[in-house]
Structure 1
C-alpha cells in the first residue's frame, strides 16, 4: 500500500523549512549588521552543499542500501547543526552552523525522491499529488512566519524554523522504506550522453537560470522591506510565486502534450529575462511586483518540470540517478552559488536594480545557449511534437 500521507507529510515539512528559512533568515542576518557580501557568502553555503552533499550521500545510500536510514540521520543532524545558531552571532560561528546544517539538510531530498518513486512503482503519475504538499508546506510557513514577525522580534525566526526542522525529523521516522525494482540496462554511456550538444546546452542553460535567481533567493525579502513593505506582505509575495508554480505544475501534462520541451524552456527563459528587470526597476509598484511574482510559474514551475523531463529521457536506466544529481549540482548548486555570491558583491556597489539586471543577463545567456545548442527536432519530445 502506498504510504501517501507519510510521504506527503515529509514533503510538507521539508519545503516548509524552505518557506521559513529562505525568505526570513536573511532578515535575521541583516539584523546582526552583516554586510550584503557577508549575507551572500553565508546563504551561498546552501548552494555549495547542494553541489557536494547529494552525490556523496547518494553514493553512500547506494553502497549501504539504506536510503531511509540516511534520510533519518540527515534530518537529526541538520537540526543539530541549526541549533548552533542559538549560541553564536559571529560570522565564523554562523558560517560553521550554516555549513553543517546545509550539508546534512541537502542530502535528503534526492533520497526521499527515490524512495517516493520506489513506493509509487507503476503509479508514477501520482507523484504530483504527493509533491504538491511540499508547496502547501512552503505557503503555510512563509505566510505564518511573515505574520508572526510583524509582532515578534526577528530573532524568533530561529525558534519557528527549528520547529519545522523538528517536523522533518519526526516525518523521517514515519516514512517506510520501499522495495526497489532493478534498474534497466542502457547502451549509452555517461560520456556519450554528455557529448551531445543538446545535453550540454540544457545543462549550461540550467546553470545560468539558477544564477539568474541568485539575487531573488538571497535579497528579495530585504529588497521589499527596504522599500517599505511589511513582512506579512513579503510572505504573501513569496506565496504568490508558489501558487503560480502550483498552477503550472497542474497544467504541465497538457502543456507537454501541446508544446515541445524545448519550446517550454525557451518561454521560461524569456520570462526570466523580463521578471528580474521588473523586480529590480519596478519595486515601487506593487502591481509590477505581483506580475513579476506570477512569472515564477514560468521561471521555476515550467522550467523545472520541463528540465526534469528532459533529463529523465536523456539519462535513462542506470544513468538516471547520476543525470539528476548532475542537473542539481550544475543548476541549483553551482549556478545558484554563482548568482548568490555575485549578487552579494554587487548589491552595495551598483545597487539592487542593476543587480537584478545582471540576473536578467544570466537568463538571457541561458536562453541563447539553449536556442543555439538545442536545435528543433532534436532530443526528447513532448507528446508527438516531432522530436526524437
Structure 2
C-alpha cells in the first residue's frame, strides 16, 4: 500500500471496531432475552445505539474541527466505551443497563466518522483503495460472530460480556497506535456545507440512506432471536451472520472495478432493489435454510455495495474540510436515525403483527428509498466515482 500509508494499523482498527459489532449486535439481544426482558425493552435498549449515532458523531466531529484534533477524541471514545460497557458486569437491572448502554453508545459512536476521515486523508489520491482497508472490518465481524457463536454452545450466555469487553480493549489499543494525518494544504473547498446539502441528489442520498437503515432495523435487533425461536442453534445463527459478511467482503473487493463501470446511482438502486427482496424473504421464508442462505448472500448488495457507493458519494460531495462533517451526517442520518426508527418500530410490531410482517415492513422502507433515489437523483452525463 505504499510506505507512508499505515495500512495495518488502520486495518487492525477496523478489524476490532467491527468485531465489536459482530459480538454485540447478534448476541447481546440474546443476553438481554436471558434476563427475561420483553421485546419492547430489548428494542429500547438496542435503539440507544442508534440514538447516540444521531447525536454523537455530529457533536464530536464539530468538536474535533474546533480543537483541530481527531485521534485524541477517538482514543477517549474507546476508553469511555469500555468504561460504559463495564457497567453490564455490575447490574442486571434495566435502569443500570440503560445507563451503561447510553454511556457506551455515546462514546463508541463518536469514533468511526473521525477514523474514516483520517483513513481518507492517509489514502489521498488512492481513495479507491478504501475497500482493501475497510474489508478487515468485515473480517473482524466474521471472527467475532463465529467465535462467539461457538463459545455460546459451550459456555453460559454471560461469555458475551467478557468477549465484547476484550474487543473494546482491542479498539483502545489500536486507537492509540493509529497515527494522525494532516490534510493536503492544497485542498480547497468552494461550496459551503449547507449549499452542498441542499442539492437534490445529496438530499435524495441521505433520505434513502435513512430508509435503508430503517429497513435493516428488524434484522439487527431480532434476526438472531427469530432464528433461535425457529429451532436453529447458535452455531447456525453465527454461520448465517458470517455468510452475509462474507458476501459483503466479496463485494468490497470487487467494488473498485464495479465503480469504474457503473454510476453510484445505479449501484445504489440495485442495492435497494435487493433489500426489498431480502427482508420479505427472511420474514416469510425463515423455515427454509436455502431461503435464509440466499437472503444472507444479498447482504453483499444491501450493505456492501450500498455502503461503498454511499460513502464514495459522501467523500466526493463533501471534500476537504467538509469531509468529517459529511461523514458524521451520513452516519447520524442512516445508521443513527434510520436504524433507531427501524429498531423501535420492529420492537412494537414484533409482538403485535408478528415476525413475518415486521420484516416485510423492512421491504417497504427499502422500496420507499428506491423510489426516492430514482425520482430525485438525476444523472447528467457519465457519472463514475474514484
What's the TM-score bracket when you normalise by the shorter of the two chains?
over 0.9
Is 1:334 matched up with 2:337? yes
Q: Secondary structure at the match of 2:158?
A: helix
* Structure 1 residue 258, shift from structure 2 partner: 1.9
Q: 1:228 aligns with which of 221, 227, 231?
A: 231
What are the residue-to-residue correspondences of 1:256-335 with 2, within 5 Å?
256-335=259-338
Match of 1:209 in 2: 212
Deviations 1:20-51 (A, max 9, x none): 10000000001111111111110011011111
Q: Paired residues, what number?
A: 383
What are the residue-to-residue correspondences of 1:169-208 with 2, within 5 Å?
169-182=172-185, 184-208=187-211
Provide the rounded CA distance (Å) in 1 between the counterparts of 2:302 and 2:138: 16
Match of 1:83 in 2: 86
Give unpaired runs (5+ residues) of structure 2. none
* Structure 1 residue 383, shift from structure 2 partner: 6.0
Match of 1:111 in 2: 114
More displaced 10-residue stretch of structure 1: 37-46 or 366-375: 366-375
Match of 1:239 in 2: 242
Provide the rounded CA distance (Å) in 2 between the counterparts of 1:184 and 1:173: 27
* Structure 2 CA distance for partners of 1:260 and 1:36, relative to 1, 3 Å: same
More displaced 10-residue stretch of structure 1: 191-200 or 338-347: 191-200
Deviations 1:344-377 (A, max 9, x none): 0100011000000111100111111111111243
C-alpha contact (below 8 Å) 1:183/1:317 kept by paired residues: no
Is 1:252 matched up with 2:277? no
* Structure 2 CA distance for partners of 1:141 and 1:268, relative to 1, 3 Å: same
Provide the rounded CA distance (Å) in 2 between the counterparts of 1:116 and 1:383: 18
Provide the rounded CA distance (Å) in 1 between the counterparts of 2:101 and 2:232: 28
Provide the rounded CA distance (Å) in 2 between the counterparts of 1:171 and 1:253: 27
More displaced 10-residue stretch of structure 1: 174-183 or 13-22: 174-183
C-alpha contact (below 8 Å) 1:258/1:383 kept by paired residues: no
Provide the rounded CA distance (Å) in 2 between the counterparts of 1:127 and 1:263: 20
Provide the rounded CA distance (Å) in 2 between the counterparts of 1:4 and 1:316: 22
Q: Aligned Cα RMSD in Å?
A: 1.6
C-alpha contact (below 8 Å) 1:265/1:306 kept by paired residues: yes
* Structure 1 residue 183, shift from structure 2 partner: 6.7
Q: 2:27 aligns with which of 24, 48, 51?
A: 24
Is 1:373 matched up with 2:349? no
Match of 1:124 in 2: 127
Provide the rounded CA distance (Å) in 2 between the counterparts of 1:342 and 1:383: 35
* Structure 1 residue 12, shift from structure 2 partner: 1.1
Provide the rounded CA distance (Å) in 2 between the counterparts of 1:120 and 1:196: 27
* Structure 1 residue 264, shift from structure 2 partner: 1.1
C-alpha contact (below 8 Å) 2:61/2:325 kept by paired residues: no
C-alpha contact (below 8 Å) 1:10/1:172 kept by paired residues: yes
Is 1:219 matched up with 2:227? no
Provide the rounded CA distance (Å) in 2 between the counterparts of 1:203 and 1:301: 17
Provide the rounded CA distance (Å) in 2 between the counterparts of 1:264 and 1:139: 25
What are the residue-to-residue correspondences of 1:39-188 with 2, within 5 Å?
39-182=42-185, 184-188=187-191
Provide the rounded CA distance (Å) in 2 between the counterparts of 1:325 and 1:228: 39
Provide the rounded CA distance (Å) in 1 between the counterparts of 2:201 and 2:160: 43
Q: 2:18 aligns with which of 1, 9, 15?
A: 15
Is 1:351 matched up with 2:354? yes
Provide the rounded CA distance (Å) in 2 between the counterparts of 1:165 and 1:285: 35
Provide the rounded CA distance (Å) in 1 between the counterparts of 2:159 and 2:299: 28
Q: Secondary structure at the match of 1:154?
A: coil
Provide the rounded CA distance (Å) in 2 between the counterparts of 1:241 and 1:258: 24
